[in-house]
Chain A
Amino acid sequence: MLAAAPAVRQAAGAPPNTLRIAYVAPTPGPARASAGAERAGDVRVAAYSGLLGARQGAAETGYSARLVGRRLELLEAAAATPDEAAAAAGRLAGRGVAALLGGFDSATAVALSRFARAHRLLFINVGATDDRLRNEECDRYSFHVEASDAMYLDALADWFIRGLAFLIDENAPQGIQVIRRNPARTWFLVTEDTPVERARRDRLRAALELRHWGGRVVADVLVGRNTDIPDVLPAIRRIHPDLVFLLLSPGRQLAFYRRYEEARLPVETTGFPDPAAQTRAFFGALLRTAPAASRGGIRIVAWEPTFAAVGGPQLAQRFYRRWGHPMDGPAWTSWAAVKIVWDAVTGAQTADADGLLRYLETPSAVFEAYQGIGMGFRPWDHQLRHPVMASRLRAWSSDETALAEMYGQFPNVLAPGREPDQVLDQLGDTAVMSRCRWH
């Protein structure tokens, strides 16, 4: 077959006509919903999903690449610490990679970002939500497919305060179902006493004060690593807020739910969607640990595998057919990152980092990843503009896909009369809010 191989400038060290992408992530852990609840919140669960997503992306993109006479290779490395991640990146970079993907915790993402800058390599963050990566720690060579803390928190406020979500449904009037709920006006925050969670709490408070009027924090409890969670429960019972919001690591969210179930408190609860907390393993653990407290609950995710529009079912079927595992949030970000790198290489006609960087910063660099809207990177912090989704927990089931269902999307990607960038900039920090100054 004659192939239309674009005249693409190679990354140094890669074989001819071959695009190499490096993927550095924590050693994958148990990913099944049937795995023990004590491990379901581990970052390695997210890493496992992410790895499957990257491999799916490499398989599909590799197929597309072969059509036009090129090859795509995914080079993988497992790393348990930031130092190990940087060392692994060093080994892979020597093999001529065009981009480095990874980052499931802030420290590792920072390490990979700094490595990428030092070696003039693109770093695509697929799993670290920390806003500092888009602000104080921003870097010109770093791009973020994973949503930021700010994006997730704005989506949470959209749902729980505005009481509004959207569901693409071509058979509905205007092609969209508007999902409504009664506003949760009074919030009880339970915040783990760590820099990451405190920063999220501050961003949430700012969101409530500046953008999502009508919601207010009625209690704000900091819990240390040794604080016993039941200590919080009497206050929740006494104040009776509309919502208990957990700014806790996924593992501690599970511990909280366990105590909460025992206390039989009736207040609606949700937690921050760290990548591990977006997985079916986590959902399964929640539903088994606290069936009454978690059933029907809304969890914000980057991707919900039961999304049934704009090609979502096709993507879900392809992924499940290959892995026997539903595509969850971390899988989608890694899959999308691989696809974006390939699409950028074909669009920019180069695999050179500086060329790719310039291309990704152009407004016309718009990417498709089944969210129903074209997505590009914000020029002020290199965050990919993308919608996020709401999953509604159903009931424990051995069918992992059936553990939750698509409930809504944020924002309304079909909002008439507006450019996609304007629509998507409703989530996250705008240019005037950004503290990013390129190094």
Chain B
Amino acid sequence: MRRWLGILLAVPVCASFAGLAGPAPADVAAGPRAFVSNEFSGDIAVIDVATDRIVGRVLVGPAGTARPRGLVLSPDGKTLFAAVTDASYGQNETGRRWQFIAALDIATSRITARYVCGSDPERMAVTPDGRRLYCSNEDASGASVLDVATGKVVATVPTGIEPEGVAVSPDGRWVYVTAETSNTITVINTRTNRAVKNFVVGARPRIVAFAPDGRRAYSTAETGGTLSVIDPARQRPVRTVALGTDSKPVGVAVAPDGRTVYVAGGRCNCVLAVDAASFKISTVVQRMGRRPWGVAVTADGKKIYTANGRSDDVTVIDAASLRVIRTIASVGRGPHTVVVAR
């Protein structure tokens, strides 16, 4: 571990990463960036959204040991948090040392801090004021609440079994945490850091995301092949959209105007565009990378990115035409999550 502390820093794409030809060193002052966690190569790829080229890479830990998965940006866009777990599922002491939240300073592309956020952190969300980070603890049936300023866990909240997806409402009042085994979503009051409600959604819920106006939340159910539409005012699901049991939906993102929900289908190798008014699938984007799990939309709503775990690439989709416009190859081994900075 000690020797890895020295390389927990940004590594611009260069000769040290043989096989990644072409990209220039990271120009962090340039336009928006997309970040992709690679769970098997232990790193995070940095993509220039303007050119869709890989412009940098941040090594988090040894490939095959450290698994960066969930990513989230701070509200000010200055910090990227990465949830890191270990490939041994915490079975040994060495592995457990690779369970933390890494904070990446986007301006310098350096990892500036590591926070302990309970065991086996998988995904996270940050409150709109940037003060609290909520992470799911997959093996502990709970979520930890991290005070970002102090780097300390200030509360733990029981959730369903095998919690995964975490989302915070735009007004910062509620945090939703999915649980893959319990098929539930836990609602946490961020003022008290207590669970105030649990409700059942589809089989093996993975990711949950709020619409920008906070009037809806959406949760995928991987085994059930469904998208649950949740009314945050009533804290309960109000509709279930069938996506097909061969879709295995995981990632979900909402367009900035709230009109379209994009769902990454891990088995159909597709993105399903769901109309947020009619709750019908308007388009299925196909001919893309394999096993897309992560999906993100640019702030202007014009492009959609997917992290494709089995083809080691990122698919770029034009949101207007819902056609694949680019494949960014050799992103890393096992792309898991993608987020786009403003």
Instruction: Name A's B-contacting residues (CB within 8 A).
Output: 1-4, 6, 60, 63-64, 67-68, 170-171, 173-175, 311, 313-314, 317-318, 339, 343, 346, 364, 366-368, 373-374, 414, 416-421
Q: What B residues does A311 contact at CB under 8 A?
A: 162, 180-181
Q: Which of A63, A171, A419 contacts B40 (CB 8 A)?
A: A171
Q: What B residues does A414 contact at CB under 8 A?
A: 267
A-B contact pairs, 23 of them (CB 8 A): A1-B196, A1-B198, A3-B198, A4-B198, A4-B200, A4-B236, A60-B181, A64-B182, A64-B183, A64-B184, A67-B182, A68-B198, A170-B309, A175-B291, A311-B181, A313-B91, A346-B200, A366-B203, A366-B224, A368-B224, A416-B267, A419-B246, A420-B245
Q: What A residues does B332 contact at CB under 8 A?
A: none
- Knowing A3-B198, A175-B291 touch, does A367 contact B203 (C-beta < 8 A)? yes
- Quick check: A173 and B196 within 8 Å, CB to CB? no
Instruction: Name B's A-contacting residues (CB within 8 A).
Output: 39-40, 89-91, 138-139, 141, 160-162, 179-184, 186, 194-200, 203-204, 222-225, 235-236, 242, 245-246, 267, 269, 290-291, 309-310, 333-334
The list of the 10 closest CB pairs from A to B, nearest first, reads A64-B182, A67-B198, A4-B199, A368-B223, A374-B223, A313-B89, A368-B204, A368-B203, A2-B197, A171-B40
| Nearest A residue (CB) for B198 | A67
| Nearest A residue (CB) for B195 | A1
Which of A67, A175, A368 has most chain B Cβ within 10 Å? A67
Q: What B residues does A421 contact at CB under 8 A?
A: 245
- Quick check: B245 and A1 within 8 Å, CB to CB? no
Q: Which of A175, A314, A346, A420 contacts B310 (CB 8 A)?
A: A175
- Knowing A311-B181, A314-B89 touch, does A367 contact B223 (C-beta < 8 A)? yes
- Quick check: A364 and B242 within 8 Å, CB to CB? yes
- Knowing A1-B194, A367-B223 touch, does A64 contact B246 (C-beta < 8 A)? no
- Docked CA distance A318–B90 (Å): 12
- Docked CA distance A4–B225 (Å): 22
Q: Which of B186, B204, B223, B333 contacts A67 (CB 8 A)?
A: B186
User: Shortest Cβ distance from A424 into chain B, in angstroms?
Assistant: 11
Q: What A residues does B194 contact at CB under 8 A?
A: 1
Q: What A residues does B186 contact at CB under 8 A?
A: 67
User: Shortest Cβ distance from B293 into chain A, in angstroms?
Assistant: 10
Q: What B residues does A419 contact at CB under 8 A?
A: 245-246
Q: Which of A1, A63, A170, A366 contacts B197 (CB 8 A)?
A: A1
- Knowing A4-B199, A420-B246 touch, does A171 contact B141 (C-beta < 8 A)? no
Q: What B residues does A367 contact at CB under 8 A?
A: 203, 223
Q: Which of B90, B197, B204 contacts A4 (CB 8 A)?
A: B197
| Nearest A residue (CB) for B182 | A64
User: Shortest Cβ distance from B204 into chain A, in angstroms?
Assistant: 4
Q: What B residues does A317 contact at CB under 8 A?
A: 89-91, 139
- Knowing A64-B182, A314-B139, A374-B225 touch, does A366 contact B245 (C-beta < 8 A)? yes
User: Shortest Cβ distance from A68 into chain B, in angstroms?
Assistant: 5
Q: What B residues does A3 contact at CB under 8 A?
A: 197-198
Which of B91, B181, B225, B236 has most chain A Cβ within 10 Å? B181
Q: Which of B138, B196, B245 contacts A374 (CB 8 A)?
A: B245
User: Shortest Cβ distance from B242 into chain A, in angstroms?
Assistant: 7
- Quick check: B246 and A418 within 8 Å, CB to CB? yes
- Quick check: B246 and A171 within 8 Å, CB to CB? no
- Docked CA distance A364–B235 (Å): 24
Which of A4, A6, A170 has most chain B Cβ within 10 Å? A4
- Quick check: B181 and A68 within 8 Å, CB to CB? no
Q: What B residues does A170 contact at CB under 8 A?
A: 39-40, 309-310, 334
User: Shortest Cβ distance from B123 into chain A, in angstroms?
Assistant: 15
Q: What A residues does B89 contact at CB under 8 A?
A: 313-314, 317
| Nearest A residue (CB) for B41 | A171
- Quick check: B184 and A171 within 8 Å, CB to CB? no
| Nearest A residue (CB) for B141 | A63
- Quick check: A63 and B309 within 8 Å, CB to CB? no
Q: Which of A68, A174, A314, A366 contacts B199 (CB 8 A)?
A: A68
- Docked CA distance A215–B310 (Å): 35
Q: What B residues does A364 contact at CB under 8 A?
A: 242
Q: What A residues does B180 contact at CB under 8 A?
A: 311, 368
| Nearest B residue (CB) for A61 | B182
Kindly list 17 other residue pairs between chains A and B, CB separation below 8 angstroms, not including A4-B199, A314-B139. Answer: A2-B196, A2-B235, A4-B198, A4-B200, A63-B141, A63-B161, A67-B184, A170-B40, A171-B40, A174-B310, A175-B291, A175-B309, A313-B89, A339-B181, A343-B203, A368-B181, A418-B246
- Quick check: B198 and A171 within 8 Å, CB to CB? no
- Quick check: A64 and B245 within 8 Å, CB to CB? no
Q: What A residues does B197 contact at CB under 8 A?
A: 1-4
- Quick check: A64 and B224 within 8 Å, CB to CB? no
Q: What B residues does A416 contact at CB under 8 A?
A: 267, 269
- Docked CA distance A6–B237 (Å): 12
- Docked CA distance A175–B269 (Å): 13
- Docked CA distance A418–B242 (Å): 17
Q: What A residues does B198 contact at CB under 8 A?
A: 1, 3-4, 67-68
Q: What A residues does B309 contact at CB under 8 A?
A: 170, 175
User: Shortest Cβ distance from B118 into chain A, in angstroms?
Assistant: 15
Q: What B residues does A373 contact at CB under 8 A?
A: 223
User: Shortest Cβ distance from B195 into chain A, in angstroms?
Assistant: 6
| Nearest B residue (CB) for A174 | B310
Q: What A residues does B160 contact at CB under 8 A?
A: 63-64, 67
- Quick check: B290 and A174 within 8 Å, CB to CB? yes
Q: What B residues does A60 contact at CB under 8 A?
A: 161, 181-182
- Knowing A6-B200, A367-B203 touch, does A173 contact B310 (C-beta < 8 A)? yes
- Quick check: A366 and B223 within 8 Å, CB to CB? yes
User: Shortest Cβ distance from B41 into chain A, in angstroms?
Assistant: 10
- Docked CA distance A339–B162 (Å): 14
| Nearest A residue (CB) for B309 | A170
- Quick check: A68 and B184 within 8 Å, CB to CB? yes
| Nearest B residue (CB) for A417 | B246
- Docked CA distance A416–B291 (Å): 10
User: Shortest Cβ distance from B208 into chain A, in angstroms?
Assistant: 15
